[in-house]
Every structure is written in structure tokens, then in C-alpha cells.
Structure 1
Amino acid sequence: MGPISVRNFLKENLNFESVLNDFDMLQRKSKGAIQRAIKQGDLDVSIWKSYVQGAQEEIILAKIEGIQLVNYQELSYPQRLLTLHNFPVIIYAKGNLKLLNAKRSVAIIGTREPSKFSLERSQLIIQYFVSKGYVIISGLAQGCDTYAHQVTLANKWKNDGCVGCRIRSADLSTR
């Protein structure tokens, strides 16, 4: 179930717990991709139950790791994400949630295999924005994203990693 389907269910004021536990209700109330998956046999009650169980396990693991799940209806959710058509319903966050909505922030993104020149330029760009009071944001992906966080952490600058899933690298989530 994607973010748009989840938001549609919530707009209809359906009891989401009921939908999670009642596949018949899901069949009756769903539209679009979910309805197609059911009709094509790609989604049935046993598959649905396994998805729900997996989600519940994910929530438990996130809590054990000290990771907060922030849903799009909470004030701490990054408000700029709400301008996207297909924004995530939940993000995983660890650390200072206020940074998610810093007035001055810039996202550093790039290739997974940056050249030495790219890294040098990235550092200059990061230093410039930090000197102007910006929070550095990135998605924690390999390459330029990771480098942005390494530079900001090494210099004790404010940075924020935004991910749509639980961080599975213990080393990275600790830092």
C-alpha cells in the first residue's frame, strides 16, 4: 500500500486499525492499485497479513534502535515534503526533530561514485551554506549524500539525514 492509498484511507475517516486487521474491509474500500492487485491475485488475505506483520516488526525494531516514526500529520514532519504529490506517509528520524523543519536548509545530493573533484566542490558548497546558517540535509545514500554528512559531522555542523525506511547500518545510525 503506497502513500497515496494510505492518505486516501485516512481522508475517508476509516479506522486504519480495522483495515489492517480486516482484509474484507480492505477489499470493499480499496481503489486503484490495491484493487487491481487483489483482482489479479497478487494480494490476498495471507499476503496482506504478512505485510501487516512485517510492518509491526519494523516498528518494534525502530523503537529498539531509538528511531522515531514521524507521520505526515505530525508537526515535526518536514513540512516541505508535504508539497510533493507522492510524499512518504512516515519517515524515520533519529536525533533533533526540529532540524527537519529548519527555516534554512539545503539538500546535498549527487552521484553514488563521486570523483575527487566532485568531493572537493561538495565540501566548498557545504562550507558556504553552513557559513550562512543552513542545516545540511541528505538522504544518507552512498557517495555524495554520505560525504555531505561526513563533512558536517566532522565539523560538528547541523545536518539531517532523511530516510523513508529504518536505517539498517548500525554504524551509520549511531553516527
Structure 2
Amino acid sequence: MERKDAFLWLKSISGISTKTIEKLQNEVGNIENLMEFSDREIYTLKNINLNIKENIVKYKSNSYLDELREILYKNDVKYFCIDDEYPSDLKHIYNAPILLFYRGDLSILNDTLNIAMVGSRKPTRYGVSCAKSISKQLSNLGVNIISGLAIGIDSFSHIGCMEGKGKTVAVLGSSANNPLPRQNIALADKILDNGGLILSEYNVNSAVIPSNFVNRNRIISGLSKGVIVVEAARKSGALITVEFALDQGRNVFAIPGNINSEMSKGCNKIIKEGAKLIEDLDDIINEYNISCINKVEFGKNYDNISLSKESITVINAIKNKGVLQIDDICDYTGMEIKSVNTLLNELSLKDIIIEGNNNTYSLNV
């Protein structure tokens, strides 16, 4: 029996946790030999709960293990353990998963630079634009993007990456054959079709409970060299990933946002606490050994878009000031509010500017 099979067998038994498996390894040495133990030998194991010993005896058979493997095969799910070709960055985190299930190309994890992107499930248009733009530009530099397949920033980070040259990895809080939320099943399929990876520490048919999604955050950061928070409220779940990243010694980046936007409170908070502010792509790539690349401009190039002189004046006003209300735009441009309002509507339709909270306007990066 391979060690990964021993872990698969034991993890399927009720009451057996990773810590229990560690105790068993300390007791028996080679865990893959445990199934060959007699019932009497199992009952004499020290520091193991009696109910767990009874369950080990109950399910101690090669036919039971074959059933587990057959279910995985039918669901097109593969598995590997911490003693296999396991990602080195993940292997050294606290509470590293001893067994992982996957669909797709596992080589991505050891292929190149992996960076995580996380954020709000209810992003603004500004957050969506940033997530897609940054992930695509990093992807074009050969960086793989890791996220959690949640709606919102996670989804747009995956999408942006697939528009570039890199690959994206979705770490799930459900099993690899049961991507959640269900509205992202099509996105999960697209990730696989694009040569990406779906990863989970939960076996097929495992119960999905809220703590799963907290636990998977340690894997998202653990697989990555750094974590980018695109947009997050003060109590956003994305900040849990930041806590894991800091504990694991990873770089943390954040995109600043409108001080009046609730969705920027979390990012602005962690920037004040020491996260690196992202103003352009150099703020990310300078932290890593990414050489021999063409500099990518952070932001849209409007040169090829047909714009009136008045539209360009409005764009330049917003570009110079960052975020402006319509009254301020009128003041800076000297135009009447009716004309400015018409121009803002046209620029919004062309996806050049974004309307934020309190009737503020910013450029779509």
C-alpha cells in the first residue's frame, strides 16, 4: 500500500483527524503497514481513542480502500499526499493538509510563481476592473493566480488570469467534484478547459460546513508567494487569508480605494498596518525575481479609443485628481453640469470610467 492510500483510508474513517494520524504514525512507524495489523495489535495502540480503534478495525480491508478509490475514479478526481511531489511552499505551513484531491494539471503548483488574489464577494465596478486587469497582466508575465472560486473578486481574478498566458488554481471549501457556489460551476469547468487546477482537501461526498471555507484560506496563501487583496470591507473574509499569509511569512499587497467606499475599508486598514500599497504593477513584480520582461503599463490605454476633446478633458481631470464628484469635475473643466453628465454617461458606457459611491467617478484601470 502506498502512503497516500493509507491516508485516504484513514481520513475516510469517522473521528480520525490529521492529529490522530500523526499519533498513529508515531505508534506504528510506517503508516502504510497499519492495515496489516491484527485486530489485537490495533486495540493495544496507545494514546488512541477506543472508538477510533473500533472504527479502524471495522474498516480494515483492501476492498473498502478499493471502493474509496473507485468513487474517486468515477468522479475524475485524483489525490496525492504530503510525502509525494507536494508543493514546497505549502508543505512548511502550520497544519499543512496531509492529503489533497484535485482535477486538472497538478504541475502548475511547482511550475512558476504563484500569487493569490482575494477580495469581496460584493465588489464595486472598481474592484472588478482591478481584479481582472491585475490578474491578466500578472498572467501575461507567466504568473499563476490562485483564488477560492467565490463569487466576486475571486471569480474575476480567475477570469482575468485565463485571459492572459498563465494558469489559475481554484482552492475549494467543498470537494473537487462539487465546486461551490453552484453559479460558478461553469467557471470551474472553464478553468479546467484552460489547463488550470481545481484543488481541495475534502474527499468526494464530504459534508460542506462553513469552517471549510475558512480552512481553505490557509491553503490559498500557503501555495502562494504573496497575497493581493483587491477590495474588502473591514470585516471581509478575505482578511482571514491575510492573517494566514502573515503567519506563513508571505508578502501582503492591497489596492487602495475610495475612503468613502465600504468595500475599501479593509484594504485601507491593512495598508495602514503594513501591507504594500499597489499603485502600479512594479509594486508587485519588484518583490520577486521576475526578470527579462517587458514593462506592462498598469491601467488602460485610451489612445485607440475614439474620444471627443471634451471627453479627454474630463478623463484628464479624473486622472489627475483620482476620484471626483460631478460638481468637482465641472469646476476643474469649466463645463456645465448638463454637458458633464452626458459625457460621464458616454464614458461609463464605453467602460472608461466607473461610478462609485456618493456620485463619485474614477478611471476604470
TM-score, scaled to structure 2: 0.37
Residues 145-164 of structure 1 mapped to structure 2, 5 A cutoff: 145-155=154-164, 157-163=166-172
- Change in Cα spacing, 1:128 to 1:153, as seen in structure 2 (3 Å) is closer
The unaligned stretches of length 5 or more in structure 2 are 1-15, 180-184, 191-365
- Change in Cα spacing, 1:173 to 1:13, as seen in structure 2 (3 Å) is same
Q: Show the counterpart of 1:100.
A: 109
Root-mean-square deviation (Å): 3.6
Distance 1:115 1:48 in 2: 54
* Structure with greater Cα Rg: 2
Residue type at the aligned position of 2:45? K
SS at match of 1:93: strand
User: Residue 108 of structure 1: CA displacement?
Assistant: 1.6
Q: CA contact under 8 A between 1:69 and 1:93: conserved in structure 2?
A: yes
Q: CA contact under 8 A between 2:72 and 2:78: conserved in structure 1?
A: yes
- Change in Cα spacing, 1:24 to 1:147, as seen in structure 2 (3 Å) is farther
Q: Which has the higher relative contact order, 1 or 2, with Cα contacts under 8 A spaced 6 or more apart?
A: 1
Q: Show the counterpart of 2:72.
A: 62
Residue type at the aligned position of 2:35? E
Q: Number of aligned residue pairs: give it.
A: 164
The unaligned stretches of length 5 or more in structure 1 are none
2:189 is the alignment partner of 1:174:
yes
TM-score, scaled to structure 1: 0.69
Alignment partner of 1:130 out of 117, 124, 139: 139
Distance 2:64 2:148 in 1: 23
Distance 1:104 1:150 in 2: 18
- Change in Cα spacing, 1:95 to 1:117, as seen in structure 2 (3 Å) is same
Q: Show the counterpart of 1:29.
A: 45
Distance 1:114 1:68 in 2: 34
- Change in Cα spacing, 1:125 to 1:171, as seen in structure 2 (3 Å) is closer
In proportion to residue count, which structure has more helix?
Answer: 1
Distance 1:29 1:162 in 2: 36
Residues 82-121 of structure 1 mapped to structure 2, 5 A cutoff: 82-121=91-130
Q: CA contact under 8 A between 2:132 and 2:161: conserved in structure 1?
A: no
Q: CA contact under 8 A between 1:91 and 1:163: conserved in structure 2?
A: no
User: Residue 99 of structure 1: CA displacement?
Assistant: 0.4
2:26 is the alignment partner of 1:17:
no
Q: CA contact under 8 A between 1:167 and 1:173: conserved in structure 2?
A: no
2:17 is the alignment partner of 1:2:
yes
Q: Deviations over 1:75-122 (max 9, x none)?
A: 1x2221111121111111222211011231111222333333222221
Distance 1:161 1:86 in 2: 20
Distance 2:130 2:111 in 1: 24
Distance 1:96 1:172 in 2: 16
- Change in Cα spacing, 1:79 to 1:92, as seen in structure 2 (3 Å) is same
